Chains A and B, each alone.
Chain A
Amino acid sequence: DVKVTQSSRYLVKRTGEKVFLECVQDMDHENMFWYRQDPGLGLRLIYFSYDVKMKEKGDIPEGYSVSREKKERFSLILESASTNQTSMYLCASSSWTGSSYNSPLHFGNGTRLTVT
Chain B
Amino acid sequence: DQQVKQNSPSLSVQEGRISILNCDYTNSMFDYFLWYKKYPAEGPTFLISISSIKDKNEDGRFTVFLNKSAKHLSLHIVPSQPGDSAVYFCAARAISNFGNEKLTFGTGTRLTIIP
Pick from B11-19, B58-66, B103-111 the stretch touching chain A. Answer: B103-111
Pair B46/A42 contact, Cβ less than 8 Å: no
In the assembled complex, the CB of B81 is this many whole angstroms from the nearest CB of chain A, namely: 22
Tell me the minimal C-beta distance from A32 to chain B in angstroms: 11
CB-CB contacts below 8 Å: B1-23 with A: 4, 6, 9
- Chain A facing B: main interface SS: strand
**Distance of B114 from chain A, by nearest CB (Å):** 23
Query: In whole Å, how far is A64's beta carbon from the nearest beta carbon of chain B?
Result: 16
Proximity string of chain A (92-114) to chain B, C-beta cutoff 8 Å, 1 when within and 0 when not: 10000100010011111110000
Interface residues on B, range: 20 to 34
The residue from B31, B43, B91, B96 contacting A90, defined by CB atoms under 8 A apart? B43
A105→B31 contact, CB < 8 A: no
Q: Measuring CB to CB, which residues of chain B are less than 8 angstroms from any residue of chain A?
A: 4, 6, 9, 31-32, 34, 36, 41-46, 49, 51, 89, 91, 93, 96, 98, 100-108
Q: Which residues of A contact B (CB under 8 A)?
A: 4, 31, 33, 35, 40-45, 48, 50, 56, 58-59, 90, 92, 97, 101, 104-110
